[in-house]
Amino acid sequence: GNIRIAGRNCSKSIGKLLNEYKVPDRKKGETLIISDSCGPLAVLLYAVSERVKIDSKTKSILLIKKSEESLYA
């Protein structure tokens, strides 16, 4: 799906966004994308959607931390 990028007044496909940031093909499958029923909310490390950006009306923030530990160990 496309993401409307906060602060950039544009919408891009996830693939084009990752190409813009020169993410190697081998890393693209590891990129974490958070979505809801309306589409992508964030492409972690690269973009957040205009509809969930932090602004003066923000009341809460979801903090996501990446762990290097294996979930299957």
Entry field: residues in the chain: 73
Q: What is the mean pLDDT of residues 4-18?
A: 94
Which residue blocks in the chain are alpha helix, DSSP H? Answer: 14-20, 25-28
Cβ atoms of 38 and 3 closer than 8 Å: no
Q: What does the pLDDT look like over 47-59, one tens digit per residue?
A: 999 999 999 999 9
Q: How far apart are CA 34 and CA 56, in angstroms?
A: 22
Q: Can you give the pTM of this predicted structure?
A: 0.77
Question: Is residue 8 scored above 80 in pLDDT?
Answer: yes
Work out the percent of the chain whose per-residue pLDDT is above 70: 93
**Which tokens belong to 68?**
């290097």
Q: What value does the mean pLDDT take over residues 37-50?
A: 94
Which residue spans within the chain are E strands per DSSP?
2-5, 10-13, 33-36, 39-43, 47-48
